Structure 1
Amino acid sequence: MATTNPKGTRASAYRVAVTADVVRPDGSSVHGDLGFDRLVERGIDWSVLPGDAPVLPPEYFDDVDAVLVMGHTYFDAETVDRTPRLRHIARFGAGYETIDLDACTRAGVVVTNTPTAIRRTLSTAAVTMILGLTHHVVPKDRMVRESRWSDREHFRGVGLEGRTLGIVGFGSVGADVARLMQNFDMTILGTNRSGKSAAADELGVSLVSFEELLERSDVVLLTAALTPETTGMIDEAALARMKRSAFLVNVGRGKLVDTDALRDALLDGRIAGAGLDVFDPEPLTPNDPILGLDNVLLSPHALGWTDQFTDAVSTAALDAIIAIADGGRPDSVLNPEVFETEAWRAKVASD
């Protein structure tokens, strides 16, 4: 470990590494205060990893018990099989597509995430995208700044009352969006892998097939997790099923969408517009034609970054780290079967 705890405490029996993608060596973060003092108060040492890359050398974790993953660092068998001390990967956020759960389980590594903590901030980000896009907020703002008031007749907004919102990946975030958007008197459809949802039943949301959702929706919202099955799910064929008057909003993962197919659909007027907080590639290249379109609302994978987001997610992630360090079992364990493995028992026995 190349960096040291800025509090100056000696190395403790339990050590936590933090990935360096959005955290500086002193622990300050683009998200704000992450609350690392909580670890120090519990006698847990922490430090920020010296390098930032999608795949980090296994030796970075030779003397580490846990790693707080701030971005999308990969942890596959090649890494976790060569880190005999590592016992916990705590994901800051909900997505875990870069973490091989099966490999972690075999290696005796618990994986946790923070899905509940991101629910409201992501759902309000989705609502912001929907409202900003359908009301043409950005081009109208630009008109005023550039004294082009006469152009406003070309940007009449789209009312939502009686329109249909389709939520792809109807889980906790999707349910929260549905709860908020029902105030706009929209019909709400959802789709998910199981075809079942107690929240959908409670809210009166109809779960339908992916194809039916695309065909009926005036706004298609993506909140699905990224899996091999959902990668590229919004492709040319999916876009062709959507109404020409429909909008696509993605606050899930960039790779849910085939960017080339979306670009073509937007340029050809085959859908009305798009709101994107996530991209593939990320960031977009500076000359991408999407950047010049008035019917696209863009955010740099940060629309949900609020003070409440930071507080909720960091609290949940550190709660999980402290629980494992204390010999407990935190909420939101993605591979609970790990606790029954010999690899896990061996790591615990080494304390």
Structure 2
Amino acid sequence: MAKYKVVVTDSEYTSFEPEKDVFSDLDVELVFEQCRTEEEVIEKCRDADALLNQYAPLGTKVIEALDNCKVIARYGVGFNTVDVAKANEKGIVVSNVTDYCLDEVADHAMALLLASARKTVLLNQNVKAGEWDFNAAAPMYRLRGSTLGLIGFGNIPQNLTKKAQAFGLRVIAFDPFVPEEMAGELGVELLELNEVCRESDYISVHLPLNARTEKIISKDQFAAMKETACIINTARGPIIDEQALIDALRKKEIAGAALDVLEKEPVEKNNPLLTMDQVILNPHAAFYSVEAEQELKRKSAQNIADVLNGFFPKYLVNREVEDRLSLETKY
């Protein structure tokens, strides 16, 4: 019998070679599940020493039921699937990977911005439907000289800033946790949220999802935007009040949206966004590249291996447990 049981609570992956390679020097039984509910997680993971988690909910009930768990490792940057406060109470380490897809998400946001500006998706659909007419994309405005507003100014939007500036875009941002000096070094002016909404031609969302940021983009923000503005979201769907977005699009308060994430995923068949030509929808794909996926899987597994070997992981979410656990600092 293996010394440790590591359970993958759920995943969309077809290969787990990076995880197996990381765990090769440990006496680990690696178990693969596809849990969709808290009840399923409790049933399958109650005796696990560690969890690798993608989307399965790890709320209060789940964490209370984890009798042996030492570490929960998220496949991703966000950790909104995990009740971190309850993990703190039980002395369970929570980890993520903050730096595996910086270029991928920034590139995807830029691609959605360009597709919105040049209306390439609409034109492609029209040509394939037999319509050969560039006027179908009218009005179309020059990109150079436009303003990109960033909601959040962490690693990914800072990466995006350099790409956008190369296209001649002025970049402004809202982020109350970023010093003006640091933003200024990148040529970015920090403004209040509604000021960014008023001044921007394109708005790109890059916030983590938490109680403060859920539906932070809602009626007031859409009302402040230009009628020609387009909003882009490669972060988390619930950051935008989706019904308020739908209403703003219907009333033509804004010109369009390009969304890689939605409030409910996969998209529901009756979602009005599916019928709107001015909306581009992607299936939560911004993070993906072959290289990024391999890096994510390796680093997520290494977070677990570190804890099982007696160390705090490099990507520690809940530093509140540092004083409670007898783990050593490695990084």
Q: TM-score, normalised by structure 1?
A: 0.87
Q: 1:292 is matched by which residue type in structure 2? A: T
Spell out, residue by residue over 1:198-237, the C-alpha distance to the aligned partner (whole angstroms, 9 max, x if none): 6523211111110110110110110101111111111111
Q: 1:50 to 1:252 in 2, by over 3 A?
A: closer
Instruction: Give the CA RMSD over aligned residues.
Output: 2.0
* Structure 2 match to 1:243: 226
* Structure 1 match to 2:104: 121
Does 2:292 match 1:329?
no
CA contact (8 A) 2:38 2:62 kept: no
Q: Distance in 2 between matches of 1:50 and 1:207?
A: 42
* DSSP-derived class of the 1:115 partner: coil
Spell out, residue by residue over 1:258-296, the C-alpha distance to the aligned partner (whole angstroms, 9 max, x if none): 111111111221101000001112233223332122211
How many angstroms does 1:36 deviate by? 2.7
* Structure 2 match to 1:154: 136
* Structure 2 match to 1:262: 245
Q: Distance in 2 between matches of 1:94 and 1:334?
A: 10
* Structure 1 match to 2:128: 145
Which residue, out of 50, 62, 65, partners 1:66?
A: 50
* Structure 1 match to 2:277: 294
* Structure 1 match to 2:202: 219
* DSSP-derived class of the 2:291 partner: helix
**Aligned positions of 1:157-306 closer than 5 A:** 157-196=140-179, 199-306=182-289
Q: Distance in 1 between matches of 2:306 and 2:216?
A: 37
* DSSP-derived class of the 1:270 partner: coil
Spell out, residue by residue over 1:3-54, the C-alpha distance to the aligned partner (whole angstroms, 9 max, x if none): xxxxxxxx421221001242xxxxxx15x55523214412322111263325
Q: 1:259 is matched by which residue type in structure 2? A: E
Q: 2:136 is matched by which residue type in structure 1? A: H
Structure 1: state its 5+ residue gaps: 1-10, 23-28
CA contact (8 A) 2:22 2:302 kept: no
**Aligned positions of 1:43-62 closer than 5 A:** 43=26, 44-49=28-33, 51-53=35-37, 56-62=40-46
Percent identity of paired positions between Structure 1 and Structure 2:
26
* Structure 2 match to 1:14: 4
Q: 1:132 to 1:304 in 2, by over 3 A?
A: farther
Spell out, residue by residue over 1:315-343, the C-alpha distance to the aligned partner (whole angstroms, 9 max, x if none): 221221121121122212011221321xx
Q: 1:50 to 1:122 in 2, by over 3 A?
A: closer
Structure 2: state its 5+ residue gaps: none
Spell out, residue by residue over 1:80-117, the C-alpha distance to the aligned partner (whole angstroms, 9 max, x if none): 23322101000000111121222111101000101111
CA contact (8 A) 1:124 1:304 kept: no
Q: 1:17 is matched by which residue type in structure 2? A: V
CA contact (8 A) 2:9 2:45 kept: no
Q: Distance in 1 between matches of 2:11 and 2:63?
A: 20
Q: 1:287 to 1:51 in 2, by over 3 A?
A: closer
Q: Distance in 2 between matches of 1:38 and 1:146?
A: 49
Q: Distance in 1 between matches of 2:41 and 2:166?
A: 50
Q: Distance in 2 between matches of 1:197 and 1:41?
A: 46
Q: 2:7 is matched by which residue type in structure 1? A: A
**Between 202-211 and 301-310, the greater mean CA deviation after superposition:** 301-310
Q: 1:272 is matched by which residue type in structure 2? A: A
Q: Distance in 2 between matches of 1:75 and 1:51?
A: 10
Q: 1:339 to 1:158 in 2, by over 3 A?
A: same
Number of residue equivalences: 326
Q: 2:112 is matched by which residue type in structure 1? A: M
CA contact (8 A) 2:194 2:224 kept: yes
Q: 1:153 is matched by which residue type in structure 2? A: N
* DSSP-derived class of the 1:309 partner: helix
Q: Distance in 1 between matches of 2:187 and 2:127?
A: 41
**Aligned positions of 1:87-106 closer than 5 A:** 87-106=70-89
Q: Distance in 2 between matches of 1:144 and 1:79?
A: 51
Q: Distance in 2 between matches of 1:89 and 1:198?
A: 36
Q: TM-score, normalised by structure 2?
A: 0.92
Q: 1:52 is matched by which residue type in structure 2? A: R
How many angstroms does 1:243 deviate by? 0.5
